């Protein structure tokens, strides 16, 4: 058990990558706070962890809402007494409405920024004081290749993910002296509910598969090994890094 005695907050842990990472962190011995906007899915993740004799707490939170985030972090600290790991993962991609700049609505831009970038900052803002007191912690941001490369008709999502790279660097520089490490995982195309509609179309699915030299889509469990490594004490000297898990998509 590589995370025994640690406590992890995982945002968006009701589905996809967040759910897989929450289950894996629990199997590695961490107490897990499932911070999720969808109560049914969040509770289901907690029950799955408890069925495997892990420790988990559900905290309903919209990560873009400061009061929700404050209450979630307080609940986490009251329940487990400490917070060692923050897995900033909850994000949205508003398919069909996220488009080219001149066609994009203010509503889609604002909501995407508030959740995907604002949410990572807000959760960090309220978790970091606990980590400062403990004089250690690991914050892991889930970024995206869309923040580095030009993907057509995804202006708000791509820009929010570009911001995640900058947020990772800025926070890494500020908190490394306090033994709080900030790093980012950059997944390729992972088969999750976020892109279920696109991947249900066979032509589009084949197009995404062809983008990765590994010759397949990723699955949420592909992210877990790196997430555990970055969360654990084995990655003590990893600070401000961006780590791809993308089947080679960004290597070619
Ligand atoms: N799936 C991919 O191909 C892919 C690729 C690169 C990066 N990512 C990133 O990985 C992360 C996880 O993506 P996924 O594919 O698992 O997504 P998903 O849509 O399958 O799951 C996201 C979870 O976050 C929750 N959520 C959404 N808005 C929230 C909010 N405001 N507050 C709290 N919870 C909220 C959802 O209810 C859901 O349970 C995201 O940051 C995403 O941008 C995904």
At 244 the pLDDT is: 98
Looking at the whole model, is its pTM more than 0.85? Answer: yes
Answer whether 1's CB lies under 8 Å from 73's CB: no
Using 50, 70 and 90 to split pLDDT, how confident is the model at 86? very high
- What element of type H or E holds 138? strand 137-142
pLDDT of residue 223: 99
Q: Residue 115's pLDDT is what?
A: 99
Determine the atom of ligand 1 nearest the C-alpha atom of 65.
31
What is d(CA 49, CA 32) in angstroms, rounded to the nearest whole number?
9
Distances, alpha carbon 167 to alpha carbons 31, 79, 90, 161, in Å:
26, 29, 15, 10
The residue-averaged pLDDT of 194-208 equals: 97
The pLDDT of residue 142 is 99
| Residue 13, CA atoms < 13 Å, CB-side half-sphere | 32
Tell which one of 9, 10, 12 to mutate to probe ligand 1, the residue whose CB is within 8 A of the most ligand atoms. 12
Kindly give the distance from the C-alpha atom of residue 192 to the centroid of ligand 1, in angstroms, as a whole number. Answer: 8
Query: Positive or negative, the Cα torsion across 14, 129, 173, 171?
Result: positive
Ligand 1 center from residue 19 Cα (angstroms): 10
Q: What is the structure's pLDDT at 138? A: 99
Evaluate whether the domain defined by 7-189+221-245 bears CATH number 3.40.50.720: yes
200 backbone dihedrals φ, ψ, rounded to 5°: -70, -25
| Ligand 1 pocket, residue 77 CB under 6 Å | no
| 177 alpha carbon – ligand 1 mean position (Å) | 30
Question: What integer is the mean pLDDT of 81-96?
Answer: 98
pLDDT at 237: 98
> In the chain, what are the domain boundaries?
7-189+221-245
The pLDDT confidence band at residue 207, using thresholds 50, 70 and 90, is very high
Q: Which residues pair with 140 in a beta bridge?
A: 87, 183
pLDDT of residue 229: 98
Query: Is there a contact between 129 and 117 (Cβ–Cβ < 8 Å)?
Result: no
Mean pLDDT of the chain: 98
How does residue 168 score in pLDDT terms, banded at 50, 70 and 90? very high
CB-ligand 1 contact for 76 (6 Å cutoff) = no
Which secondary-structure segment (H or E) carries 21? helix 16-27
Atom of ligand 1 nearest to the CA of 157: 43
> Which residues participate in catalysis according to the annotation?
157
What is the average per-residue pLDDT within 33-42?
99
Ligand 1 atom with the smallest distance to the CA of 17 is 16
Residue pair 66/123 in contact (Cβ under 8 Å)? The answer is: no
| pLDDT band at residue 50 under the 50/70/90 scheme | very high
| Ligand 1 touching residue 62 (CB < 6 A) | yes
Distance, CA of 148 to CA of 165 (rounded, Å): 9
Which of 142, 144, 194, 220 has most ligand 1 atoms within 8 Å of CB, for mutation? 194
Closest ligand 1 atom to 115 CA: 31
Average pLDDT of the segment spanning 111-121: 99
- pLDDT of res. 195: 95
- pLDDT for the residue numbered 190: 98
Q: What is the 3-state secondary structure (H, E, C) of the chain?
A: CCCCCCEEEEECCCCHHHHHHHHHHHHCCCEEEEEECCHHHHHHHHHHHHHCCCCEEEEECCCCCHHHHHHHHHHHHHHHCCCCEEEECCCCCCCCCCCCHHHCCHHHHHHHHHHHHHHHHHHHHHHHHHHHHHCCEEEEEECCHHHCCCCCCCHHHHHHHHHHHHHHHHHHHHHHHHCEEEEEEEECCECCHHHHHHHHCHHHHHHHHHCCCCCCCECHHHHHHHHHHHHCHHHCCCCCCEEEECCCCCCC
Q: Is 163 in the pocket of ligand 1 (CB under 6 A)?
A: no
Which residue is closest in CA terms to ligand 1's atom 24? Answer: 12
Indicate the top mutation candidate among 9, 14, 17, 147 to test ligand 1's pocket, ranked by most ligand atoms within 8 A of CB.
17
H/E element holding 61?
Answer: none
The pLDDT score that the predictor gives to residue 40 is 98
């Amino acid at each position: 058990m590589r995370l025994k005695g640690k406590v992890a907050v995982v945002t968006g842990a009701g589905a996809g990558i967040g759910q897989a990472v929450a289950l894996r962190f629990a199997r590695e011995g961490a107490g897990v706070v499932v911070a999720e906007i969808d109560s049914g899915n969040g509770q289901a993740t907690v029950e799955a962890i408890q069925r495997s004799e892990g420790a988990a707490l559900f905290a309903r939170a919209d990560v873009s809402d400061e009061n929700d985030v404050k209450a979630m972090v307080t609940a986490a600290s009251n329940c487990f007494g400490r917070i060692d790991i923050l897995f900033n993962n909850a994000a949205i991609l508003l398919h069909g409405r996220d488009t080219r700049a001149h066609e994009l609505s203010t509503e889609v831009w604002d909501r995407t920024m508030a959740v995907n970038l604002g949410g990572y900052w807000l959760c960090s803002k309220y978790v970091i004081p606990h980590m400062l007191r403990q004089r250690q912690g690991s914050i892991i941001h889930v970024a995206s290749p869309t923040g580095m490369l030009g993907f057509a008709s995804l202006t708000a999502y791509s820009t929010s993910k570009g911001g995640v790279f900058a947020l990772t660097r800025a926070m890494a520089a500020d908190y490394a002296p306090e033994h709080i490490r900030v790093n980012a995982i950059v997944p390729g195309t992972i088969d999750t509910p976020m892109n279920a509609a696109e991947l249900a179309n066979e032509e589009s699915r084949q197009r995404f598969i062809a983008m990765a030299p590994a010759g397949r889509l990723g699955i949420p469990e592909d992210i877990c090994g790196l997430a555990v490594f970055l969360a654990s004490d084995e990655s003590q000297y990893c600070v401000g890094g961006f780590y791809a898990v993308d089947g080679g998509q960004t290597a070619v």
